[in-house]
Amino acid sequence: MVVAEKRRPAGESKMRWIKRGARHRDSARQSCADEAQAAVLAELNEGVRSFHAFNPNREGGRWQAVEKL
């Protein structure tokens, strides 16, 4: 089996490839931060989720404010 090397396209500098790798690491770090932030926000909004509940008794099936659980 022959394994192909990953080569730079002609004309691109090595620095450009290094920057691409850094960008990949930064986006991975950002997604971890986003997940952590989402967990915190979900915990803060725990009681808010039930504040606007669907009320099928109203015309058009609109949302109506109800008591928090």
Block means of pLDDT (10 residues each) for the chain, length 69 residues? 57 58 63 79 64 57 55
- The parent domain of residue 49 ranges over 14-65
What's the CA gap between 60 and 54, in Å, rounded? 11
The answer to the question of residue 18 being in a domain is: yes
pTM of the model: 0.29
Predicted local confidence at residue 32, as pLDDT: 74
Q: Per DSSP, what are the bridge partners of residue 54?
A: 63
The answer to the question of residue 36 being in a domain is: yes
- Give a three-class secondary structure readout of 14-65: HHHHHHHHHHHHHHHHHHHHHHHHHHHHHHHCCCHHHCEEECCCCHHHCEEE
The answer to the question of residue 3 being in a domain is: no
Count of the separate structural domains present in the chain: 1
Predicted local confidence at residue 41, as pLDDT: 76
